[in-house]
Amino acid sequence: MDTPAVSIIVPVYNVVGYLDACVRSLMNQTYQDIEILMVDDGSTDGSGELCDDYAGTFDKISVIHEENSGPGYARNAGIVAAKGRYLLFVDSDDVLLPKAVERLVAIADTGKTDLVCYDFIVRKGKGESSRTVVIPAAFPTVKETSGIQCLRYIYEGRLGNYSMLFLYNREFLLQAGVKYPVNINVLEDAVFLNELLPKANVVRYCQAKLYVYNIRQNDSLGQGKNLEKAKGGYRAICRISENAKRLGLYQEFRLHGIDLLLFVYNLAGDGTDDETEKLLAHIRTSLFSLSHGQMKIKPTLKRKIQLLLIRYRLYDLLVHHLWRFG
């Protein structure tokens, strides 16, 4: 096919029950100058074979098969293979609304653009949930900012650390040289965005909700305890924290960092083995450090309760009842 305007990268791993809705949402886009790159990350439930079926049916779809190496590796493989002027990431259990690509390209084409950020819908089970389930504050009303300001919006809880909620200028992305970490299987997109956004000069914004984010029982918000993922998540937070310090944004980062740590604390579980206890001790130390002193971003009442519990080291009460921020 000719060089497409937009490459849509879909990392796929064991989502056979969700894949059809995702693919059909992409094929039904009103803007059709697209290619769809499905990156099968070693699925064992038939998802890889289903991807091959789609590729045999739709000429816009191609498939990359990889050994299971995690979501970061799969996305990196998609970036290398992509040919479009712009890139989109769509999680294989989510849905892109019909006019999404059309609206995003129209905004990106208004002038020099590194990224376009857009809003989304949250669906949990069969019903639509409030956006505040994952992001507490309102989407920015601005049309354009620097990448640093966009990162501040993430720290303020107005945007999410989700790489699927941006359209990327492929030339900018390749010149920036930022890749997804491949040894981290949770918060890997947070690392990616925290390292990419400071390199962006122009981020544009689309206030429309163009993406349906499905919260499943085993996704990053609903998943059960997983020590290995928690260890990777803690490494991700340390990396993000150091990046914020280098940028002079550590004070803005602190409340956001607390939320990331509470998420990973909850993910680690309450095991009594040495490995779990060691990780939890590191997280507690980091929580206490981030909570100490005056906050640059004014905390809500719930935030103040969280900070008080951290300062008195009441971590279990905090995690089991108040770890989601608001």
Could you list the residue range(s) of the whole structural domain that residue 308 is in?
Answer: 227-322
Whether the predicted pLDDT of 50 surpasses 80? yes
Q: What CATH number did the domain enclosing 209 receive? A: 3.90.550.10
Residue range 122-136: mean pLDDT, rounded: 82
- Residues 213 and 82: their CA atoms lie apart, in Å, by 23
Whether the predicted pLDDT of 307 surpasses 60? yes
Q: Which pLDDT tens digit goes with each residue over 213-227?
A: 998 765 545 456 899
The verdict on residue 147 lying in a domain is yes
| Angle value at C-alpha 9, between 226 and 162, nearest 5 degrees | 50
Report the 10 Å Cβ neighbour count for 16.
16
Does 206 share its domain with 276?
A: no
Q: Which tokens go with 196? A: 């990419």
Residue range 161-183: mean pLDDT, rounded: 97
Looking up tokens 């971003």, which residue turns up?
Answer: 297
Does 141 share its domain with 272?
A: no
Q: Which tokens go with 168? A: 């990327």
Q: What does the mean pLDDT of the chain come to?
A: 91
Does 178 share its domain with 281?
A: no
Instruction: Please report the sign of the dihedral spanned by the C-alpha atoms of residue 59, residue 167, residue 73, residue 95.
Output: negative
Q: Are 5 and 85 in contact (CB under 8 A)?
A: yes
Does 197 share its domain with 313?
A: no
Q: Which tokens go with 22? A: 């995702």
The verdict on residue 220 lying in a domain is no
- Residues 319 and 258: their CA atoms lie apart, in Å, by 11
- Residue 209 β-bridge partners: 119
Q: Tell me if the pTM is above 0.75.
A: yes
